[in-house]
């Protein structure tokens, strides 16, 4: 009988298999025998770990793990027991003593049923880990600054205030110890210096004199600038003053050093923040940037305290004058009392304005820096996704997860910019149920365990057209107000439903238009409001909270957003029975076909005959933008600030599009660069980008007419589409 078995598949030769393994240059592929000795070592292992194949054959693999680690033994044991071991990330050692953050697995090699060895796969995740840590550190710094800002805004005692600042500085910079030396005046106008410490007990400095105006300290105490040193003992300014020629005996060991002056609005130096660490190279540019923001907050808070003290002194003096003149002139007494009351009102308004200005500038500035960081992260993650093969599922999934995290961080910065009023309204179709669902987790974390958050989402809810960030901010404002109305805890309910406002209701509310609305109702079980409070609730700066605990702008911001969106807002409340705030936003009158999201369009490309001038001061963002545009096929030239860009435009180089950041160094904003560029080359097309909107291209919360903008962080496809749209808006011609 003829043998009908199919012919066996041909096996690849060992040399072919070797070529395949060595082609994986970004992955270490290592085989081991049963005793854990290395039997093969591919080119990727040499690239990642530094040792050559000749150096490693026959050697145990545990030399790439930190001393004392049993990771390899556990991976091999898991591979024997379950067919696969590992998957845990951790540090791996290289030949030169450096480290990489690696992840990988171990699988058994079998001949029949017998395990004859193992194969170890290792991948380098150092860059991804560093990027994730950078995002976490920026978020932590922002939390520290916001927490300190809230505490400073409510503090009126100078001693407690400077302690808050010093403690926050130690936490923000990672210093071992910190000090705040500041000047005060006694009742006779005499100036003297005090200090507060953090990280060490007060007696640590008790036996040392106050710092003198030596070369090391001069820049701080004179307000000339920041001093940061990786090792202060090697600074040329150090050790040049008698009698100690450096730190006196018994002084805390300071190697890393960071000092920032605290300067009032009038330019007066209020004091200096000093931070130290016994190790070298602890403080980086991020520490300097965060401490600069903290110093600005401290200056505003100290100004407010001094202003309050001055006001109290003036009030006391006027009170004594009133008592002396009361028996002589009753009319004069009344006038002085009115003047004193007016001074108190003006002082409170000034404190509130200064606080809002400082918090808004700080929040917007940090969010701007955060957006630049996110732009680099998002751009390079998208580059990884484009370059990695589609069948590399693990890497694609990891990149997608990292992108999702970056997008969430981007959403956070947009909320911060909305708070600082640096973001224009951008109405778009919104699924309110999805938005409320996304906010519920944030509210649960933010409001605390004493507040129970419940969401009731209406079925078949209509869509609306509004600014999603502004709507989120409005709901968050209402939720925070509700929390403050329930100091002992309670229940917060957010409910959505379709609603119809009829003619009868509209007649009694002149500003309301009859029609179909989506209703968002925010209810609490708190203390409620009386009729007079309800009547004034939407007035700017009106608040029932204690001094320093409320700006009086929350509900007025909500009111303004709702009215600007064509909606209606109403408060229902009774004392002791809780409060309900109802927001009515007009239904989006559009067919379901129009509401469907369009299918993804192909990424539009350019050609080498189209030239784009990129103007961006952040090196990483500029590098990504230039590379992305070149990948799209454009010819790209670049400049780091406005004057350099103008010099390029004054040459004969053809330029089709100016792509510029709004906020630039060098004395010219992006808007000024664009204006000068159009003087040189009429008809030149301009595309702005920013992570922090300013009045240069925004007025009344919306873009100036004709201005084209893409906000950071932008994706590769968004950049491609926006550039193509701007170039194709009118028939293109080279600008000479």
Greater confidence (170 vs 702) lies with 170
CATH number at residue 496: 3.30.565.10
Residues 548, 531 within the same domain: yes
Dist. CA 434–CA 63, nearest whole Å: 51
pLDDT tens, position by position, 305-325: 888 777 887 888 888 877 777
Q: Which two tokens stand for residue 4?
A: 């009908």
Backbone angles phi, psi at 545, to 5 degrees: -80, 160
The answer to whether the peptide bond before residue 45 is cis (omega within 30 degrees of 0) is no
User: Are the CB atoms for 650 and 689 separated by under 8 Å?
Assistant: no
Dist. CA 584–CA 567, nearest whole Å: 5
Residues 107, 20 within the same domain: yes
Residues 222, 306 within the same domain: yes
Q: Residue 700: its pLDDT value, please?
A: 45
Is residue 468 packed enough to be buried (19+ CB in 10 Å), middle (13-18) or exposed (0-12)? buried
pLDDT tens, position by position, 370-416: 777 777 787 787 778 777 777 777 777 777 777 777 676 765 565 45
Does some domain include residue 401? no
Q: Is 733 helix (H, G, I), strand (E, B) or coil?
A: coil
Dist. CA 727–CA 685, nearest whole Å: 7
Does some domain include residue 370? no
Mean pLDDT of 595-608: 64
Does residue 423 surpass a pLDDT of 80?
no
Does some domain include residue 378? no
Mean pLDDT of 53-78: 87
Range of the domain at 276: 132-238+251-363
Q: How confident is the model at residue 349 (pLDDT cuts 50, 70, 90)?
A: very low
What residues contact residue 509 under an 8 Å CB cut-off, 6+ apart?
568
Residues 462, 510 within the same domain: yes
Q: Residue 185: its pLDDT value, please?
A: 62
78, 94, 124: which is the final residue of a domain?
Answer: 124
pLDDT tens, position by position, 452-475: 889 999 888 999 998 888 898 889
User: Are the CB atoms for 136 and 116 separated by under 8 Å?
Assistant: no
Does some domain include residue 227? yes
Q: Residue 353: its pLDDT value, please?
A: 39
Residues 141, 41 within the same domain: no
CATH number at residue 722: 3.40.50.2300
Residues 158, 111 within the same domain: no
Q: How confident is the model at residue 1 (pLDDT cuts 50, 70, 90)?
A: very low
363, 393, 408: which is the final residue of a domain?
Answer: 363
Mean pLDDT of 539-555: 62
Residues 517, 586 within the same domain: yes
Please choose, from the candidates 195, 371, 373, 175, the residue with its C-alpha nearest in 3D space to the C-alpha of residue 288.
Answer: 175
Q: Which two tokens stand for residue 309?
A: 């003290």
Residues 211, 319 within the same domain: yes
Does residue 665 surpass a pLDDT of 80?
yes
232 secondary structure, DSSP code: G
Does residue 294 surpass a pLDDT of 80?
yes
Does some domain include residue 392? no
Please choose, from the candidates 539, 497, 490, 504, the residue with its C-alpha nearest in 3D space to the C-alpha of residue 521.
Answer: 497
33 pairs with which residues across the strands? 117
Residue-averaged pLDDT of the chain:
78
Does some domain include residue 396? no
Does some domain include residue 49? yes
Does residue 592 surpass a pLDDT of 60?
no
Q: How confident is the model at residue 519 (pLDDT cuts 50, 70, 90)?
A: very high
Q: How confident is the model at residue 180 (pLDDT cuts 50, 70, 90)?
A: confident
Q: What angle do CA 660, 664, 670 make, to 5 degrees?
A: 40
For residue 11, give Cα distances in angstroms to 94, 235, 265, 515: 35, 67, 79, 74
Q: Residue 613: its pLDDT value, please?
A: 94
Mean pLDDT of 661-675: 89
Number of domains, the chain: 4
Does some domain include residue 4? no
Q: What angle do CA 14, 17, 21 make, to 5 degrees?
A: 135
**Which percentage of the chain shows pLDDT scores above 90?**
12
Q: Residue 75: its pLDDT value, please?
A: 85
Q: How confident is the model at residue 497 (pLDDT cuts 50, 70, 90)?
A: very high
Residues 346, 203 within the same domain: yes
Q: How confident is the model at residue 68 (pLDDT cuts 50, 70, 90)?
A: confident
- H-run or E-run covering 313: helix 285-325
pLDDT tens, position by position, 9-46: 566 666 777 777 777 677 888 888 888 889 889 888 88
Q: Residue 736: its pLDDT value, please?
A: 41
Residues 186, 259 within the same domain: yes
Residues 216, 331 within the same domain: yes
Please enumerate, as own/partner, the contacts of 303-309 that have beta carbons within 8 Å and a separation of 24 or more: 303/264, 303/265, 303/354, 304/156, 304/351, 304/354, 304/355, 305/155, 305/156, 305/157, 305/158, 305/161, 307/347, 307/350, 307/351, 308/156, 308/347, 308/351
Sign of torsion over alpha carbons 687, 690, 695, 699 = positive
Backbone angles phi, psi at 498, to 5 degrees: -80, 145
Q: What is the pTM of this model?
A: 0.35
Please choose, from the candidates 277, 275, 274, 271, the residue with its C-alpha nearest in 3D space to the C-alpha of residue 253.
Answer: 277
Q: Which two tokens stand for residue 42?
A: 């591919």
pLDDT tens, position by position, 90-135: 888 998 988 888 888 888 988 888 888 898 888 888 888 877 777 7
Q: Residue 332: its pLDDT value, please?
A: 63
Mean pLDDT of 422-434: 78
Residues 574, 508 within the same domain: yes
DSSP 338-406: HHHHHHHHHHHHHHHHHHHHHHHHHHHHHHHHHHHHHHHHHHHHHHHHHHS-TT-HHHHHHHHHHHHHH
What residues contact residue 421 under an 8 Å CB cut-off, 6+ apart?
360, 701
What residues contact residue 283 under an 8 Å CB cut-off, 6+ apart?
173, 174, 175, 228, 230, 256, 257, 258, 275, 277
80, 104, 124: which is the final residue of a domain?
Answer: 124
CATH number at residue 94: 3.30.450.20
348 pairs with which residues across the strands? none
């Amino acid at each position: 009988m003829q043998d009908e078995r199919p012919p066996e598949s041909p096996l690849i030769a060992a040399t072919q298999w070797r070529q395949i393994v060595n082609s994986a240059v970004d992955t270490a592929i290592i085989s081991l025998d049963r005793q854990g000795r290395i039997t093969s070592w591919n080119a990727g292992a040499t690239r990642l770990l530094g040792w050559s194949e000749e150096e490693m054959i026959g050697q145990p693999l545990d030399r790439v793990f930190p001393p004392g680690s049993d990771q390899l033994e556990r991976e091999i044991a898991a591979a024997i027991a379950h067919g696969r071991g590992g998957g845990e990330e951790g540090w791996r050692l290289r030949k030169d003593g450096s480290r990489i953050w690696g992840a990988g697995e171990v699988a058994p090699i079998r001949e029949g049923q017998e395990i004859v060895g193992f194969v170890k796969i290792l991948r380098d995740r150092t860059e991804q880990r560093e990027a994730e840590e950078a995002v976490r550190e920026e978020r932590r710094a922002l939390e520290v600054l916001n927490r300190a800002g809230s505490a400073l805004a409510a503090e009126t005692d100078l001693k407690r205030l400077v302690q808050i600042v010093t403690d926050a500085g130690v936490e923000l910079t990672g210093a071992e110890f910190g000090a705040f030396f500041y000047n005060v005046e006694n009742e006779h106008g005499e100036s003297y210096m005090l200090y507060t410490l953090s990280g060490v007990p007060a007696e640590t400095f008790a036996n040392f004199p106050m710092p003198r105006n030596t070369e090391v300290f001069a820049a701080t105490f004179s307000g000339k600038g920041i001093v940061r040193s990786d090792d202060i003992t090697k600074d040329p300014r150090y050790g040049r003053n008698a009698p100690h020629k450096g730190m006196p005996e018994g002084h805390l060991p300071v190697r890393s050093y960071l000092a920032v002056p605290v300067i009032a609005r009038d330019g007066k130096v209020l004091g200096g923040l000093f931070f130290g660490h016994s190790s070298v190279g602890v403080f980086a540019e991020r520490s300097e940037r965060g401490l600069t923001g903290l110093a600005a907050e401290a200056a505003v808070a100290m100004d407010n305290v001094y202003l309050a003290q001055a006001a109290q002194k003036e009030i006391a003096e006027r009170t004594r004058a009133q008592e002396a003149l009361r028996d002589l002139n009753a009319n004069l007494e009344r006038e002085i009392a009115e003047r004193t009351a007016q001074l108190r009102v003006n002082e409170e308004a000034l404190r509130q304005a200064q606080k809002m200005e400082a918090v808004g500038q700080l929040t917007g500035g940090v969010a701007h820096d955060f957006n630049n960081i996110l732009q680099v992260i998002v751009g390079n993650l998208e580059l990884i996704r484009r370059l990695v093969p589609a069948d590399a599922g693990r890497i694609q999934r990891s990149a997608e997860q990292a992108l999702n995290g970056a997008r969430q961080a981007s959403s956070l910065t947009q909320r911060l910019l909305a708070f600082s009023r640096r973001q224009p309204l951008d109405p778009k179709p919104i699924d309110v149920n999805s938005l409320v669902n996304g906010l519920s987790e944030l509210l649960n974390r933010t409001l605390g365990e004493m507040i129970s958050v419940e969401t009731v989402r209406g079925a078949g809810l209509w869509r609306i057209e509004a600014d999603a960030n502004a709507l989120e901010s409005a709901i968050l404002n209402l939720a925070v107000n509700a929390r403050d109305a329930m100091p002992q805890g309670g229940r917060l309910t957010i409910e959505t439903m379709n609603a119809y406002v009829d003619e009868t209701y509209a007649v009694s509310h002149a500003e309301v238009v009859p029609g179909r609305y989506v209703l968002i109702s925010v209810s609490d079980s708190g203390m409620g409001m009386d009729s007079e409070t309800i009547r004034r609730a939407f007035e700017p700066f009106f608040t029932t909270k204690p001094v320093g605990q409320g700006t009086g702008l929350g509900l007025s911001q909500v009111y303004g957003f709702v009215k600007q969106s064509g909606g209606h807002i109403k408060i229902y409340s009774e004392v002791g029975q809780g409060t309900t705030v109802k927001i009515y936003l007009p239904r989006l009158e559009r067919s379901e076909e129009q509401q469907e999201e369009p299918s993804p369009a192909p990424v539009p490309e350019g050609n080498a005959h189209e030239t784009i001038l990129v103007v961006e001061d952040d090196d990483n963002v500029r590098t990504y933008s230039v590379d992305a545009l070149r990948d799209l096929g454009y010819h790209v030239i670049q400049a780091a600030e406005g004057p350099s860009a103008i010099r390029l435009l004054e040459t004969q180089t053809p330029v089709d599009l100016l792509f510029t950041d709004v906020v630039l160094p060098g004395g010219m904003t992006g808007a000024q660069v664009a204006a000068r560029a159009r003087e040189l080359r009429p008809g030149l097309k301009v595309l702005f980008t920013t992570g922090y909107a300013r009045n240069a291209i925004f007025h009344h919360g919306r873009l100036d007419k004709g201005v084209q903008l893409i906000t950071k962080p932008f994706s590769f496809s968004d950049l491609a589409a926006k550039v193509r749209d701007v170039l194709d808006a009118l028939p293109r011609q080279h600008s000479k």
